[in-house]
Amino acid sequence: MNGRFDPRLADRRWQDRWADERCFEADSTSEKPKTFVLEMFPYPSGRIHVGHVRNYTMGDVIARFRRMQGHEVLHPMGWDAFGMPAENAAMERKVHPGAWTRANIGTMRDQLKRIGFSFDWSRELATCDPAYYGHEQALFVDLFNAGLVYRKESEVNWDPVDMTVLANEQVIDGKGWRSGAPVERRKLNQWFLKITEFADDLLDGLETLDRWPEKVRLMQENWIGKSKGLNFRFALTKPAGGISDVEVFTTRPDTIFGASFVAIAPGHPLALLAAENDPSAASFLEECKAGGTSAAEIETAGKKGHLTGFSVRHPLDPDLQLPIFIANFVLSDYGTGAIFGVPGHDQRDFEFANQYQLPIMRVVAESLEFASEPIGVEAEPAPGIMVNSQFLNGMTSEVASAEILRRAEQAGWGLGSTIYRLRDWGVSRQRYWGTPIPIIHCEKCGAVPVPLDQLPVILPEDVSFDVPGNPLDRHPTWKNVDCPTCGGQAARETDTLDTFVDSSWYFIRFASQPSDRPFDRVEAESWLPVTQYIGGVEHAILHLLYARFWTRALKHMGQIGLTEPFAGLFAQGMVTHETYRAGDGSWLSPGEVRKDGDDWVHIESGHPVAPGRIEKMSKSRRNTIAPEPILEKYGADALRWFMLSDSPAERDLEWSEAGIEGASRFVQRVWRLANSIGSSSGTDAALDRRLNRAVAAVGEAIEGLQFNKAIAQLYELVTAIEKAPASQSRDVAIRALILLVAPMAPHLAEECWDFIGEQGMVVDAAWPSFDPALLIDDQVTLAIQVNGKLRDTLSAPRGLDQAAAEALALSSEKVQRQLSGAAPRKVIVVRDRLVNIVA
């Protein structure tokens, strides 16, 4: 016996060996089957906490498992290094965002290395490095030249005190989170990427992603929001000037005879026309503008309209005139920015009609008999049988819709159309710490992309944050440049790119990183798509959709032969921990509080502490757990083991000290087994079968990312080996056990492997194989039921036939007692599983 396994020595020892021998550097030219395992790269916010550890441990298990199975594995790590927290830190602590970010990266890299992840550090990248974002700028210029980039006026949340644009989540109760000043809506010229051009393709592609969670595909589907319907025109009868008709979109053409008004968005051309001639219309538009954009404000605002005095003619009933309202609930950027209102069959229209005393007609009913039934207290949106609708009467909603569509297209007043909820991707950020948008604005030539040979446009580091606003705006030598086209005076675009752009192609850069271009097509295609992508479900929509779009855009431009970037996706659960708040409302970290009976107190002051909700570990809630003390006390393997055990990987895991104790105990049990290996002879058939089953089950569980099940299997195997007497089988089982635990507990495995005298390292060893024939036992336990209730279990040889099984079951005393003399009416035998006697 060699005492206890000491992770403080072993962790470091093997981490150094792996690094020295460059075990994890991926070879793009390898002939082996390739696997690309990727965990969503972190934002370098400060320090790694155990929430990160869970994410990377899962990826590491897959990577190490595939490597042992003979794959060439690419498992890289990098930093999503641009973003607002760095600017906030700069303002709060007077450090440069770059210095702050790079210091964090240094800290976090060291932390990750101590946990023994099999990352290929030679491919490490940080998005704030010009060697990365310069290539991103080149890709942006390519997109620009391909017509996938455009500029458009768009509204933003503007903080008038900080003179900065705020993201929606920075607006709290209509006020800036930092300044507290009421937020204004301001129109700015901003850059957009034409993601909507790929809406249909992004939607269709979801069906090919059979290794994505159903949930994520559904969320993306809803986000894209495809609606099929009819686009048609109402002829304007009471108007003036220029505009001759109003175009609307509907998904319910069947209800066309139920229309009692037309409503247009405040931004609609006709609304602007009305405002020109009518001061009350103009003030209504002002009123609409004042309202906030948040969901809560929309909720309370209610439905408001303004009667324009304009009206339109119903396309199928020349005598019917419908009034036009400007309405605050009509969106100018969805559909045509105009609708026809059918109060009887749309709840929103119903409320609006009630408010403005508009007719509410029934055009859909359960059957023709209910044609004159009035609409009750709410609208009836369900499809049904058409009534009060002239030639549509008696048709189902579906048939009626098709009929209207046919007539509209034939007569030329409408056209079937499909619209999407998805909007183009606004990528302009009025921020300093991001990728400069490689555009130069020239009075003569307009917006000109920076020529490729002048890239990268390097973000200047000599800036200060003493004054509010974007420092790029007041950096004269950087901002003022000559126009690349005409040579005249021009100015750089001072907006930077949304950080989601940075993460939309980093996986390609990981696969291939030439210095003179974003990636080498052949090399990138040799690794992509990512075999297994792992990350939080919070990125289910935006990041994953943008990355899918970016990949399609590259394909569209002929740069890569790849449609979907991530073949397999796994959305892992969060690591959670209770939160604590001091009396003044500030958050306290778990290390600052102590449990005193049923209450919590602040250790330093002794003041009571209010325990809050169990939440995702985050810096802002201060409920993070640092890995260092755990590594010090239990070692990397116990930490990794615990992160994988107990909870299924897709579910949240609540952090507990107790759990890690159990993990540590397991590590020591394996070490003791390795120490007990001898050179015994003799076979142990039961143990052989047990091992075979474990090899099969652990492999299958890892493959299915069911780490908790793999771990349960390993516990059972360890118990079985511990109980088995010395034999050659036992030594074989111990050797295999070391390999089986290696993906989860790699340091322990190496140490054991070395101890039992094996040559080479476990990282280079082959995953154990199993004999399918040994998975089957020759003795089985039959469940004996009477009327479906378990009454007895009997051991029997495998393969017992129907009659023999029945006879065996009937011989059971317990069965006989249940039957109390009666003859069974029916007997169901499931071979090698159970006998059910129906009395």
Partner RNA sequence: GCCCCUGUGGCGGAAUGGUAGACGCGCUCGACUCAAAAUCGAGUUCUGCAAGGAGUGUCGGUUCGAGUCCGACCAGGGGCACCA
Residue 516 φ then ψ, to 5°: -95, 0
Provide the minimum distance between the beta carbon of 797 and RNA in the complex, in angstroms, as a whole number.
Answer: 14
Rule CB under 7 A: which of 662-701 touch RNA?
A: 662, 665, 668-669
541 forms part of the interface with RNA (CB under 7 A)? yes
- Binding characters for RNA, 343-362, by CB under 7 A (x = yes): ---x-x--------------
Rule CB under 7 A: which of 604-663 touch RNA?
A: 645-648, 651-654, 656, 658-659, 661-662
Q: Is the dihedral of CA 436, 439, 443, 446 positive or negative?
A: negative
Rule CB under 7 A: which of 249-288 touch RNA?
A: 249-252, 265
Q: What is the DSSP string of 4-69?
A: ---HHHHHHHHHHHHHHTTTT---TT--S-EEEEEEPPPP--S---HHHHHHHHHHHHHHHHHHHT
Rule CB under 7 A: which of 283-302 touch RNA?
A: 291, 295, 298-299, 301-302
Cis peptide before 529 (omega within 30 of 0): yes
Q: Name the residue nearer to RNA (CB basis): 480 or 816.
A: 816
Please say whether the beta carbons of 625 and 590 come within 8 A. yes
781 forms part of the interface with RNA (CB under 7 A)? yes
828 forms part of the interface with RNA (CB under 7 A)? yes
Q: Name the residue nearer to RNA (CB basis): 368 or 828.
A: 828
Provide the minimum distance between the beta carbon of 114 and RNA in the complex, in angstroms, as a whole number.
Answer: 24
# residues contacting RNA (CB under 7 A): 78
Among 225, 267, 426, 612, which residue interacts with RNA (rule: CB under 7 A)? 225
Q: Name the residue nearer to RNA (CB basis): 491 or 810.
A: 810
* 3-state DSSP assignment of residue 563: coil
229 forms part of the interface with RNA (CB under 7 A)? yes
Binding segment toward RNA, per CB under 7 A, in 434-442, 454-462, 628-636, 719-727: 719-727
Among 121, 334, 413, 587, which residue interacts with RNA (rule: CB under 7 A)? 334
Q: What is the DSSP letter of 208?
A: T
Residue that the structure tokens 């005095």 belong to: 309
113 forms part of the interface with RNA (CB under 7 A)? no
C-alpha torsion angle, residues 331, 333, 336, 342 (rounded to 10): -20
Q: Which two tokens stand for residue 816?
A: 């006989």
Q: Which two tokens stand for residue 716?
A: 């059972």
Q: Name the residue nearer to RNA (CB basis): 17 or 423.
A: 423
Provide the minimum distance between the beta carbon of 641 and RNA in the complex, in angstroms, as a whole number.
Answer: 10
- What beta strand segments (E) does 375-531 contain? 385-386, 414-420, 425-426, 428-429, 439-442, 446-449, 480-482, 489-492, 496-497
* 3-state DSSP assignment of residue 755: helix
Please say whether the beta carbons of 721 and 694 come within 8 A. no
- Binding characters for RNA, 392-431, by CB under 7 A (x = yes): -----------------------------x----------
Provide the terminal-to-terminal Cα distance of the chain, rounded to the nearest Å: 60
Among 630, 711, 762, 815, which residue interacts with RNA (rule: CB under 7 A)? 711
CA–CA separation, 380 vs 387, rounded Å?
13
Alpha helices (H) along 534-645: 542-556, 628-634, 636-644
Angle between helical axes of 542-556 and 199-206 (0-180°, round to 10): 110
- Binding characters for RNA, 156-195, by CB under 7 A (x = yes): ----------------------------------------
Q: Name the residue nearer to RNA (CB basis): 100 or 666.
A: 666
215 forms part of the interface with RNA (CB under 7 A)? yes
Provide the minimum distance between the beta carbon of 541 and RNA in the complex, in angstroms, as a whole number.
Answer: 6
Among 57, 137, 308, 785, which residue interacts with RNA (rule: CB under 7 A)? 785
Provide the minimum distance between the beta carbon of 380 and RNA in the complex, in angstroms, as a whole number.
Answer: 12
SS3 readout for 582-594 = CCCCCEECHHHEE
Among 481, 626, 783, 810, which residue interacts with RNA (rule: CB under 7 A)? 783
